[in-house]
Structure 1
Amino acid sequence: MNDLKINTSEAKQFVGNATETILNSALKSGLVFEYSCKTGQCGVCKTKVISGTVVELQTQLALTEHDRAENKILTCCCAPSSDLLIDAEDLASLHGIYIKTLPCRIKHITRFSDELIGLALRLPQTAHFKFLEGQYIDIIGPNSIRRSYSVASTAEQNEIVLFIKCFENGQMSNYWFNQAKENDLLRMEGPKGTFFLRDSTQDLVFLATGTGIAPIISILSGLDNDPDFVQSGAISLYWGNRFPEEFFWTHSFKKLQVNVNYVLSRKADNWPHHTGYVQDVALASDHNMAKSAVYACGSNIMIQSAKERFLASGLAENKFYSDAFVQSY
């Protein structure tokens, strides 16, 4: 196996090979590039190849023909076939945060509806689990089934809180909704992902659909509990669901001033809030794109639409951050 040199536009270098993705090689070397799903569907890890060639190890589903024409790739899908120079940023904020596999037990299960539960997990006292608000973990359940869930709690809490939706015929859903009980022993692996707050001084626009509200709750709660944080910009949240009963969370911030908007995707009798899609409602609110950063979490369809719409409205591409929920069964 021949080692190949991969250089970044920041003058950082690591070693890769033709059988391992660029993203995995970077992570092994201690560099952290943008990523989320690692399956080629979300497009978060998109970067430009300045020089050199790559081989595709899995289909780059989120890559458009325009992206290919600009020599862009998904680092979670491609490996080097020569020495490379790529335009990828190393996220220094994630240095020192290491992925661990840890045992955990179900502390409490809250049933919001037949299709939605909240879960609190407790970790061993010696776990020393460190993460940034907004990241996700993998839960390894019965028969080694693995699923990813965003963390809704903050790094300062002594438990991990997750929100879990039921998917019909889902293997892990069958466990969560029909078998799981308090004190069950599971394993978790994480933290993962690069969805976290970059600059708290900007105007912040958060978009969420369904349980995509979880990492946003984590980020906002982290700010609210940070004694050193002084809010200087506007913060807006747009949370969308299909049915009124799916709005299971009510905000109760101590010091944050957040413009919270509940958005129902279909018409309902006596619904007092917005109707439509979160990205449309947010764009109709006339945010100052030059001063804003957008954080979107939830369905991949919403995220791709929101990114296209916000960039067309003047938002800089490097000010749109996302974490797409890719469904597994």
Structure 2
Amino acid sequence: MSEFVVKSNQGPEFECGGDVSILDAAVKNGYIFEYSCKTGQCGVCKTFLLEGEVIELQAQVALTDSQKESNQILTCCCAPKTNVLINAEDLSALHGIETKTLPARINTIKKHTADIIEVTLRLPPTANFKFLEGQYLDVIQNSIRRSYSIASTSSQKEITLLIKRFENGKMSDYWFNHAKENDLLRIEGPKGTFFLRDDLKPLLFLATGTGIAPIMSILNILDENPDYQQQHSITVYWGNRYPEEFVWQPKFENLNVDFIQVCSKPDQSWTGEVGYVQDIAMQKQPDVEKCAIYACGSNAMIQAAKQLLTERSLPEKQFYSDAFVQSY
């Protein structure tokens, strides 16, 4: 298979075969572009094709027809057909963060609700597992692989995951019906490019369900950091269907965080916000276009939030997301 040159107008240049995605070739050559799901559904790896031609290796589901017509591509889905020039940034903060496959044992399983558990994993003492708060990992149980955001911080010895049951899910069947303490699993990670980039703006976090996990990690490491001096507001909007699903009650020693719970199917005792998290955030948040936005959770929420924020003139480079794409 022929090799083509992929250049970025922001610096990186590398070779890529016509049967390898631009994203995978970048990683192989030591560069890290934006990505999340790697299946074409979330749109995080979207960039502009400035010169040359590409072929689709898998469907670019997240792109609209108008985006395709304006020469936007998903680097996880496309391979070069010729030499190409794209507009993609190499994320230097992730250099030195090595993706590893490691054994892990279940240390604890805590049941929050019938459909939400909290699992801690312990790694070998020599694992040297490094990650940036906000990243995710894959858990491998026999032949089943699923992705979960890391809820713990890099300063902690164990890895914490928040896991939600999906009906008829193969991995859900394991977690909720068979998993026990000391089970041996494998993990592969860290992965993803969801991490704190800009703390020089007001921070606005949007989460649905267990999408709160990476936000827990980001906020807790900020709270732990003696060098971090909060200069701007930090606001979290967390949406769930039912009141009992708000399983995290944050307690910060150093951060001042406005924490807003949004319930879409409340009971009579609910006194918080009602509706969808992105709608409530747009109603209540002044000057949203001046914020750095971090959204994690359902792909539907993320796409709806992005559209609403675009209508409010938020620059796209101030919107960071990690979509949960469901697998069974």
* TM-score of the aligned structures, taking structure 1 as reference length: 0.98
Q: Distance in 1 between matches of 2:177 and 2:253?
A: 37
The Cα of 1:287 is off from its aligned counterpart by: 2.7
Q: Which residue of 2 aligns with 1:263?
A: 262
* Cα distance per residue 1:160-209 (max 9 Å; x no partner): 00000111111111110111000001000000000000011210000000
Q: Which residue of 1 aligns with 2:154?
A: 155
Contact 2:49 2:85 in 1 (8 A): yes
Q: Which residue of 2 aligns with 1:208?
A: 207
* Cα distance per residue 1:277-297 (max 9 Å; x no partner): 111111111332343110000
* Cα distance per residue 1:237-294 (max 9 Å; x no partner): 0000000010111000111000000000124212110001111111111332343110
Are 1:240 and 2:236 counterparts? no
Q: Distance in 1 between matches of 2:289 and 2:150?
A: 30
Aligned-partner SS, 2:28: helix
Q: Distance in 2 between matches of 1:59 and 1:307?
A: 21
Q: Where does the alignment leave 5 or more consecutive residues of structure 2 unmatched?
A: none
Contact 1:201 1:231 in 2 (8 A): no
Q: Which residue of 1 aligns with 2:62?
A: 62
Which contiguous aligned blocks of 4+ residues in structure 1 show a shift greater than 2 angstroms?
none
Q: Which residue of 1 aligns with 2:228?
A: 229
Contact 1:240 1:262 in 2 (8 A): yes
Aligned-partner SS, 2:314: coil
Q: Which residue of 1 aligns with 2:98?
A: 98
The Cα of 1:3 is off from its aligned counterpart by: 1.0
Q: Distance in 1 between matches of 2:175 and 2:278?
A: 31
Q: Distance in 2 between matches of 1:155 and 1:97?
A: 12
Q: Which residue of 2 aligns with 1:279?
A: 278
Alignment: residue pair count: 328
The Cα of 1:2 is off from its aligned counterpart by: 1.3
Q: Distance in 2 between matches of 1:241 and 1:258?
A: 19
Contact 2:236 2:257 in 1 (8 A): yes
Q: Where does the alignment leave 5 or more consecutive residues of structure 1 unmatched?
A: none
Contact 1:137 1:150 in 2 (8 A): yes
* Cα distance per residue 1:113-133 (max 9 Å; x no partner): 111100000011100000000
Equivalent positions of 1:188-203 (< 5 A) are 188-203=187-202
Q: Distance in 2 between matches of 1:15 and 1:21?
A: 11
- 2:179 is aligned with what amino acid? A
Q: Distance in 1 between matches of 2:104 and 2:252?
A: 29
Contact 2:7 2:14 in 1 (8 A): yes
Q: Distance in 2 between matches of 1:294 and 1:278?
A: 13
Aligned-partner SS, 2:219: helix
* Cα distance per residue 1:201-220 (max 9 Å; x no partner): 21000000000000000000
- 1:252 is aligned with what amino acid? K
Q: Distance in 2 between matches of 1:269 and 1:56?
A: 50
Moved more, 285-294 or 51-60: 285-294
Q: Distance in 2 between matches of 1:290 and 1:212?
A: 22
Aligned-partner SS, 1:105: strand
- 1:326 is aligned with what amino acid? V
* Cα distance per residue 1:16-72 (max 9 Å; x no partner): 011010000001101000000000000000000000000000000000011111100
- 1:194 is aligned with what amino acid? T
Alpha carbon RMSD of aligned pairs, Å? 0.8
Q: Distance in 2 between matches of 1:26 and 1:258?
A: 37
- 1:175 is aligned with what amino acid? Y
Q: Distance in 2 between matches of 1:268 and 1:300?
A: 26
Aligned-partner SS, 1:134: coil
Equivalent positions of 1:129-148 (< 5 A) are 129-142=129-142, 144-148=143-147
Contact 2:109 2:117 in 1 (8 A): yes
The Cα of 1:11 is off from its aligned counterpart by: 2.8
The Cα of 1:311 is off from its aligned counterpart by: 1.3
Identity %: 57
